[in-house]
């Protein structure tokens, strides 16, 4: 076994890189075909989800395999190899098996324990089988991964450690509230009709939304999904399908939008969302700045400025002044150390904020000051003129504005969201700029990654990790034992040929031998050969199943001088039989 996986996920790469590296269905097909056509790989399967892109292969050379798989990922993702390389991870042999089993159990998911990944693994295996890029190793690996994932969900409470990505996203849209209470009665718009969108629609139906509208590029698929939702006996949700061009109209009536399509560009722009919110609340919404800023002028802009002005905290007459004590300068109404450096104690900065009476007191102090004026840049006459001018200002305005300590503006609070957006697509379906719109709440893959980063790990996760470790060891042992099986079969085949040859030789020497005696002799020779080979073949299988036991097959071939082509023929026959049986099994399950 020389299993190699090269990939990137939400744990190794930022969402912006994952978004650019996302593989379409056509790109995945071409990637698999090019991988098996490359020299180091004989099998290939791709696992591409909203938060991971991984390429699995059976390779005969590690370093050449890493280089080839990395290059192919870069070529088909459209992200340059130099840019992609820092975010790639590599797993080999048992570590690669451990990685896939962990993924299948939901341990490596953005939301720990989510079960949707099992369906995505099954789809990846089916695609590789259809393209005939999955051989014995990857068939066994992915089939066992599915079984391990199901075991983890059935034997532990891993489901309690996390929810599906849809449920987790809805929880982020309704912070501090129960999802069912928050969603009850809402009109939901689901864009897309694939597996994730179907899961979202089913989750919303169970949450108690009033209506679900399905929009999809292929209208027939949207209709099928709507019909499936309507026929579910456990919910009473109303579901209907609409074409994609009806999305802007539906957007003005929806309270919740979930989008997950395979589109390479934006499905909802910030302008489209702004227009939908504006139609609903009757207030112009600017995608760049919130309500009342659509054009920078007019009633909306004026109301925005008025609200901002009203939020400024005024300066009251009873605002306390700085301490009046100067130590030895007892008559000065100002504390010089409180004045910012570079200003005269008799300058404008020093008297800012004083009322008329205090200002006159300060002017009298200046005229009779004992402070050394040699370091001042202003003369007493200049200060007297300034104080006279400031006193005139006080008579008009009542107070000199405080210039040294301006009051901060109070931010105008955003209105409660009237439209909730959940973007589960990779690359994104909804313009990220929509989160700046007043009245809009947007949750996407990037924000979900941030929200789930500090999620606590449940005790069940440790139990699942033990299951994964046990299953990895068992899978490795089975693969190593299977690796020596063709050699054992070839050895027994050679022994049978030797027996047949010797019986034929005996018949030539004893032509008068009757059938009864010939049968007895033949059976005796075969029993002798079987007994001689039984213990060594059983023991060699046990030894081969242990770590480092791959060399026993080579030793057996060398000791008995087995023809390598005979062993290879047995392996090819087993692969063809296993492949046809597993294809039939998967078709039956589907």
Cite the active site residues: 50
Copy the structure tokens of residue 391: 């006193």
Q: Is 52 known to sit in a ligand binding site?
A: yes
Q: Is 2 known to sit in a ligand binding site?
A: no
Q: Is 527 known to sit in a ligand binding site?
A: no
Number of CB atoms found within 10 A of residue 445's CB: 23
| Cα separation, 76 vs 348, whole angstroms | 68
Copy the structure tokens of residue 526: 């075969």
Q: Is 494 known to sit in a ligand binding site?
A: no
- 215: part of which helix (H) or strand (E)? strand 211-216
Beta bridge partners of 46: 55
Q: Is 169 known to sit in a ligand binding site?
A: no
Which of these, 555, 472, 529, 520, lies nearest to 94 by C-alpha position?
472
What is residue 223's DSSP assignment?
A: H
| Cα separation, 159 vs 139, whole angstroms | 26
Under a CB-based contact definition with an 8 Å cutoff, are residues 70 and 117 in contact? no
Which of these, 19, 8, 68, lies nearest to 40 by C-alpha position?
68
Name the burial class of residue 219, with classes exposed (0-12), middle (13-18) and buried (19+) by CB atoms within 10 angstroms of its CB.
Answer: middle
Q: Is 192 known to sit in a ligand binding site?
A: yes
Q: Is 50 known to sit in a ligand binding site?
A: yes
Q: Is 28 known to sit in a ligand binding site?
A: no
Q: Is 193 known to sit in a ligand binding site?
A: yes
Strand 211-216 relative to strand 187-191, pairing = parallel
| Cα separation, 587 vs 590, whole angstroms | 5
Longest dimension (CA), the chain: 151
Question: Mapping DSSP to helix (H, G, I), strand (E, B) and coil, where does residue 268 land?
Answer: strand
Q: Give the residue carrying structure tokens 């005796």.
A: 524
Establish how many alpha carbons lie within 13 A of residue 344's alpha carbon, considering only the half-sphere containing its beta carbon: 19
Q: Is 49 known to sit in a ligand binding site?
A: yes
Q: Is 588 known to sit in a ligand binding site?
A: no
- 408: part of which helix (H) or strand (E)? none
| Cα separation, 349 vs 194, whole angstroms | 67
Edge-first strand order for the sheet with 41-49 is 41-49, 52-59, 3-9, 89-92
Taken as a whole, the chain contains a residue count of 590
| Cα separation, 167 vs 25, whole angstroms | 26
Number of CB atoms found within 10 A of residue 64's CB: 14
Binding positions for NADP(+) are 192-197
Binding positions for substrate are 49-52, 109, 114-116, 120
Binding positions are 49-52, 109, 114-116, 120, 192-197
């Amino acid at each position: 076994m020389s299993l190699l996986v090269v990939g990137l996920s939400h744990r190794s790469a930022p969402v912006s890189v994952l978004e650019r590296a996302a593989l379409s269905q056509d790109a995945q097909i071409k990637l698999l075909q090019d991988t098996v056509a490359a020299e180091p790989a004989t099998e290939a399967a791709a696992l591409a989800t909203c938060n991971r892109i991984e390429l699995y292969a059976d390779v005969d050379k590690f370093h050449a395999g890493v280089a080839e798989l990395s290059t192919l990922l870069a070529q088909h993702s459209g992200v340059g190899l130099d840019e992609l390389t820092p975010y790639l991870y590599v797993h080999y042999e048992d570590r690669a098996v451990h990685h896939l089993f962990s993924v299948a159990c939901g341990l490596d998911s953005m939301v720990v324990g989510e079960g949707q990944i099992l369906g995505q693994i099954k789809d990846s295996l089916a695609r590789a089988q259809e393209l005939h890029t999955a051989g014995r190793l990857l068939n066994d690996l992915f089939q066992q991964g599915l079984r391990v994932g199901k075991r983890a969900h059935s034997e532990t409470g891993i489901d309690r450690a996390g929810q599906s990505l849809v449920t987790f996203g809805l929880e982020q849209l309704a912070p501090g509230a129960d999802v069912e209470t928050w969603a009850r009665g809402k009109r939901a718009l689901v864009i897309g009709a694939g597996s994730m969108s179907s899961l979202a629609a089913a989750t919303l139906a169970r949450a108690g939304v009033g209506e679900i509208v399905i929009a999809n590029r292929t209208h027939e698929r949207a209709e099928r999904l709507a019909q499936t939702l309507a026929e579910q006996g456990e919910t009473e949700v109303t579901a209907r399908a609409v074409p994609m061009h009806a999305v802007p109209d539906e957007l003005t009536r929806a309270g919740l939008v979930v989008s997950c399509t395979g589109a390479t560009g934006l499905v909802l722009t910030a302008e489209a969302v702004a227009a939908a919110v504006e139609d609903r609340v009757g207030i112009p919404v600017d995608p760049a700045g919130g309500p009342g800023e659509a054009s920078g002028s007019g009633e909306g802009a004026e109301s925005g400025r008025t609200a901002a002005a009203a939020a400024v905290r005024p300066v009251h007459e009873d605002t306390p002044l700085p301490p009046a004590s100067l130590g030895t300068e007892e008559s000065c109404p100002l504390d010089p150390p409180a004045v910012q450096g570079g200003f005269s104690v008799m300058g404008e900065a020093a008297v800012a904020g004083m009322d008329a009476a205090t200002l006159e007191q300060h002017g009298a102090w200046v005229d009779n000051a004992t402070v050394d004026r040699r370091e001042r840049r202003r003369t007493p006459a200049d200060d007297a003129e300034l104080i006279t001018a400031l006193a005139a200002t006080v008579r008009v305005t009542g107070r000199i504005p405080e210039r040294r300590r301006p009051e901060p503006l109070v931010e105008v609070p955003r209105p409660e969201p009237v439209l909730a957006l959940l973007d589960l697509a990779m690359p994104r379906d909804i313009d990220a700029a929509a989160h700046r719109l007043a009245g809009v709440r947007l949750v996407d893959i990037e924000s979900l990654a941030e929200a789930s980063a500090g999620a606590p790990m449940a005790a069940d996760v440790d139990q699942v990790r033990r299951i994964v470790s046990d299953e990895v060891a068992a899978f490795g042992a089975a693969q190593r034992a299977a690796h020596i099986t063709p050699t054992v079969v070839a050895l027994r085949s050679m022994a049978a040929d030797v027996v047949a040859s010797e019986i034929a030789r005996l018949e030539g020497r004893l032509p008068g031998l009757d059938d009864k005696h010939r049968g007895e002799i033949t059976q005796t020779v075969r029993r002798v050969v079987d007994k001689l080979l039984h213990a060594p073949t059983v023991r060699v299988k046990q030894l081969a199943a242990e770590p480092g036991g791959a060399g026993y097959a080579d030793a057996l071939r060398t000791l008995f001088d087995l023809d390598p082509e005979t062993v290879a023929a047995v392996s090819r026959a087993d692969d063809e039989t296993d492949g046809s049986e597993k294809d039939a099994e998967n078709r039956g399950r589907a």
